């Protein structure tokens, strides 16, 4: 039962990672690409962490997975703002 949940959730996570990568390659400019990376990869890692947590041996492993996801979320959301701000400055020639 746990294994089935792991397959299902990590599978969903991989689809989101693939979609994020597709957006990174296909979208026309840096801003649109950031949408794909932050939003799709957030869910990708979230679902993989959720799937992996069904294999966890202790509450600490689950908390660790949640912590990794949270830190990645924080990093992605912060860095995407910085890249967007910088790209905008460059575009406007400041």
* Structure tokens, 30: 């840096």
| Cα separations in angstroms, 37 against 19, 23, 42, 64 | 9, 7, 8, 23
93: left (phi over 0), alpha (psi -120 to 50) or beta: left
CA–CA separation, 91 and 94 (whole Å): 8
- Between 7 and 77, CB nearer to another protein: 77
Closest CB 7 distance from another protein, rounded Å? 20
Q: How far is the CB of 85 from another protein (least distance, A)?
A: 3
For residues 3 and 60, which CB has a smaller minimum distance to another protein in the complex? 60
Closest among 38, 48, 66 to 12, alpha carbons compared: 48
Taking the complex as a whole, the smallest distance from the CB of residue 40 to another protein amounts, in Å, to: 5
Binding site for another protein (CB under 8 A): 15-16, 18-20, 22-23, 26-29, 31-32, 34-36, 38-40, 42-43, 60, 63-64, 67, 73-74, 76-78, 80-81, 84-85, 87-88
The nearer residue to another protein, 5 or 73, going by C-beta atoms, is 73
């Amino acid at each position: 039962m746990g294994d089935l949940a792991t397959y299902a959730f990590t599978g969903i996570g991989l689809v989101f990672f693939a979609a994020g990568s597709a957006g990174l390659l296909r979208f026309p400019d840096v801003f649109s690409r950031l949408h794909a990376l932050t939003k799709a990869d957030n869910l990708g890692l979230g679902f993989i962490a959720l799937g992996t947590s069904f294999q966890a041996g202790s509450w600490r492993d689950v908390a660790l997975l949640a912590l990794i996801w949270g830190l990645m979320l924080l990093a992605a959301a912060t860095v995407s703002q910085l890249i967007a701000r910088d790209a905008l400055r460059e575009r406007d020639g400041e």
